[in-house]
């Protein structure tokens, strides 16, 4: 194929640009509702609504292009799809992807060093790494490995690329398709360059094999490595939140089974706190359960360090809040700080603000407001918890509108 000419085959000419514009705008528009303040101030609605949007999004990305292809007699898949055909395409994808991915990865790493720019993970990767480990996150991960590669390839390499190459030189169709793919996927410059290059490779293999199975398998293999990397911490940190305060007063069943044999005692409680975060917390391996158990151990090995003990309880509440989404256990741990360590003002300020947010997410708005007001009244000298309380009161006002 001459890359500087249009592809004017009868099948290609049947595709029209308005079909591409329609599906791109439609798929993009599905994300607009989540921008509304209605969802921002009601995070308990986001999970079920996101799953509904995800289902509609995937359905449109797959079946609308397939409908257009059938309507215009455009063949995207092999005429006969059997085990031998599927295995052959998978085998070819596996053999070609490994060296190409290594090559592109090496080049982007060199670029990162030359430009002194860090490789920034996509928002999806960040969400999977830092979001609470629950059933919702597992569903998102499974979707990312099973449905997403098919939907992306049918839309990008199937519909968008084929339509563009009927309207312009093939090389420009390749560049525009890959540019759009990179823009919608990466958030950092180096990541976008990598995704742009991978997209060009997918298109090359699509043209070489003359069917969409090849880029689908390439996408599966690329995503598979990432999903495995993301699923391991999700499974390790999976946690079922308490359903009420009574249940929350009991330790989770997994507490006894979590081993921290590589725990190294530090000189002081404050140093131990930092060590735990760097080892297992948000700056470490992201093993929230180990971090939580380590903070419990901190309280036993530094019994006289009241500041460290109260700080450890706040840290445990923070893990339950941010990473395990167990709001009842947040309240229980914060109440211990507020009753047992009243003289530790900073810990109490953080605990009361955290309790206010946990109550907010449980839709206990009256108690939440009392907690936030308590922070402003009792602990006005502490900047961070005051900011958290002020934001909480603002959100409480917004949900009334």
Query: Is the separation of the CB atoms in 268 and 292 below 8 Å?
Result: no
222 with 251, same domain? Answer: no
Q: Is residue 1 part of a domain?
A: no
Query: Is the separation of the CB atoms in 355 and 321 below 8 Å?
Result: no
Residue 211 neighbours by CB under 8 Å, 6+ apart: 76, 77, 78, 89
Domain of residue 222, residue span: 10-236
Terminal Cα-to-Cα distance of the chain (whole angstroms): 60
Identify the weakest region by mean pLDDT among 9-23, 117-131, 167-181: 117-131
pLDDT band at 330 (very low <50, low <70, confident <90, very high): very high
Q: Is residue 297 part of a domain?
A: yes
Detail the DSSP E strand segments found in 200-265.
none
pLDDT score recorded for residue 286: 74
Q: Is residue 3 part of a domain?
A: no
Q: Is residue 256 part of a domain?
A: yes
Residue 120 neighbours by CB under 8 Å, 6+ apart: 186, 187, 188, 190, 191
Q: Is residue 189 part of a domain?
A: yes
Claim: this prediction has a pTM higher than 0.85: no
Cβ neighbours, 10 Å, residue 110: 10
Give residue-wise pLDDT tens across range 369-385. 999 999 999 999 999 99
Give residue-wise pLDDT tens across range 244-291. 999 999 989 888 888 898 999 999 999 999 999 999 987 777 788 899
Question: CB-based burial of residue 6 (10 Å sphere; 0-12 exposed, 13-18 middle, 19+ buried)?
Answer: middle
**Domain harbouring 288, CATH code:** 1.25.40.10
Q: Is residue 2 part of a domain?
A: no
Q: Is residue 145 part of a domain?
A: yes
Query: Is the separation of the CB atoms in 358 and 330 below 8 Å?
Result: yes
């Amino acid at each position: 194929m001459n890359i500087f000419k249009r592809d004017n085959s009868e099948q290609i000419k049947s595709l029209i640009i308005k079909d591409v514009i329609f599906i791109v705008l439609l798929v993009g528009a599905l994300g607009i509702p989540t921008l509304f303040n209605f969802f921002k101030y009601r995070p308990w609605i986001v999970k079920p609504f996101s799953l509904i949007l995800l289902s509609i999004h995937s359905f449109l990305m797959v079946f609308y292009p397939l409908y257009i292809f059938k309507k215009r007699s455009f063949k995207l898949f092999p005429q006969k799809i059997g085990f031998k055909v599927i295995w052959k395409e998978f085998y070819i994808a596996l053999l070609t992807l490994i060296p190409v991915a290594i090559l592109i990865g090496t080049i982007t790493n060199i670029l990162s060093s030359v430009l002194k720019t860090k490789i920034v993970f996509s928002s999806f990767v960040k969400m999977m790494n830092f979001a609470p480990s629950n059933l919702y996150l597992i569903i998102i991960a499974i979707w990312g490995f099973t449905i997403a590669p098919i939907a992306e390839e049918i839309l990008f390499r199937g519909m968008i690329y084929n339509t563009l190459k009927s309207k312009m030189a093939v090389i420009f169709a390749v560049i525009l398709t890959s540019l759009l793919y990179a823009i919608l996927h990466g958030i950092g410059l180096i990541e976008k360059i990598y995704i742009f290059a991978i997209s060009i490779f997918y298109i090359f293999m699509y043209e070489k094999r003359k069917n969409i199975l090849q880029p689908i398998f390439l996408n599966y293999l690329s995503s598979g490595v990432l999903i495995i990397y993301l699923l391991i911490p999700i499974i390790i940190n999976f946690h079922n939140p308490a359903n009420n305060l009574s249940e929350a007063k009991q330790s989770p069943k997994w507490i006894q089974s979590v081993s921290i044999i590589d725990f190294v005692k530090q000189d002081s409680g404050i140093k131990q706190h930092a060590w735990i975060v760097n080892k297992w917390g948000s700056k470490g391996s992201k093993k929230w359960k180990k971090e939580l158990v380590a903070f419990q151990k901190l309280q036993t090995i530094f019994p006289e360090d009241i500041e460290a003990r109260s700080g450890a309880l706040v840290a445990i509440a923070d893990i339950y809040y941010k990473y395990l989404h167990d709001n009842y256990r947040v309240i229980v741990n914060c109440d211990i700080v507020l009753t047992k360590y009243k003289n530790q003002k900073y810990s109490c300020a953080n605990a009361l603000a955290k309790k206010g947010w946990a109550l907010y997410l449980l839709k206990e708005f009256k108690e939440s407001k009392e907690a936030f007001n308590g922070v402003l009244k009792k602990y006005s000298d502490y900047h961070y918890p005051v900011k958290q309380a002020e934001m909480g009161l603002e959100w409480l006002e917004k949900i009334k509108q």
